[in-house]
Amino acid sequence: MNIVFAGTPEFSVPCLKALLEHGHTVSAVYTQPDRPAGRGRKPRPSPVKQVALEHGLTIHQPTSLAQETQVLLKLKPDLIIVIAYGLMLPQKILELPRYGCINVHASLLPRWRGAAPIQRAIEAGDSTTGISIMQMDQGLDTGDILLLSEISIDDEDTSASLHDKLAILGAGCLMQVLQQLEQGALKAVAQDNDLACYASKLSKDEARIDWSKPAVELQRKIRALNPWPVCYCLRQQQRLRIWQASLDHSAKPSTVPGEVLRADKDGIVVQTGVAALRLTCLQAEGGKALTAREFLNGHNITIGERLK
């Protein structure tokens, strides 16, 4: 197939590599413009652009797709594949390829439409998630479903670990869909809009821990916001980032949310609104992420002190 690929982050990379490995012609790659990154704030190409450069693919980085219709007409793609690209496709472009445009999405649609489906699934306590491949329309993740593939969310999964599992799964699902698409064996199924929920974009503002919440909710939030923006609380007016935590049922409970109940090599146990949370990987302001044992070697946390 003659394919135009549109994607930007690391999640899109396994699918692009799979297309190349299976012999499909990728006539152009669309990706977001280079963004400033790192301490020097130098422009950095997206992960998709880096792969495209390695394979000598034609790269387009428009800030808008409004003027791209004529370019795509000349490319004559059989299919446009969109994976976390970052721009909405106009109707003219959606209708342009022979097989239309398809999207690889990291949830079991119609659950978790939107920008952060992996994080919101963990935060909500979902036991499963998966990959949806849909025929795109002008709505936000509202297109008819071509394939669904489900996996479990493990109790220790963070957004980082679940992201990697879904990225690999997505590449396999995409190859399956392309084969069936060429054979005319796919049947699109409309989504039930009554079951839809929205995975809102992550923000730094939601990362601060509210110790009055139940421990189970906070533990899910910590997993969901790892590796970005990372949950935090305040200790002695300085930010303390929390990378990993688990539920704790061994400490004597307190009535004060945020109170430190115990601090040893196994973790720093903190009272929440319901039950306690054991912090096992922490990062002080200006420092690096450390295990609880390493952290306590350099920080004197006392029983009874309160994290804000």
- The domain of 229 spans 204-298
- For residue range 180-224, what is the model confidence (pLDDT) as tens digits? 998 888 999 999 999 999 999 999 999 999 999 999 999 999 999
Residue 306 lies in a domain: no
Is residue 16 a contact partner of residue 26, using CB atoms and an 8 Å limit?
yes
Nearest CA to 145 among 183, 175, 104?
A: 104
pLDDT of residue 92: 94
160 in the same domain as 49: yes
Residue 217 lies in a domain: yes
Boundary (domain end) residue, out of 199, 221, 246? 199
Lowest mean pLDDT among 54-58, 159-163, 252-256, 258-262: 252-256
- For residue range 90-141, what is the model confidence (pLDDT) as tens digits? 999 999 999 999 999 999 999 999 999 999 999 999 999 999 999 999 999 9
10 in the same domain as 36: yes
42 in the same domain as 89: yes
- 248: domain CATH number? 3.10.25.10
- 121: domain CATH number? 3.40.50.170
Residue 93 lies in a domain: yes
Boundary (domain end) residue, out of 147, 170, 199? 199
pLDDT of residue 266: 93
Number of domains observed in the structure of the chain: 2
167 in the same domain as 74: yes
Residue 6: band (very low, low, confident or very high) from pLDDT cuts 50, 70, 90: very high
User: Residues 217, 223, 225, CA angle at the centre, nearest 5°?
Assistant: 100
181 in the same domain as 50: yes
Boundary (domain end) residue, out of 199, 222, 242? 199
Residue 303 lies in a domain: no
187 in the same domain as 145: yes
Q: Identify the burial level of 304 via C-beta atoms within 10 angstroms of its C-beta, where 0-12 means exposed, 13-18 middle and 19 or more buried.
A: exposed
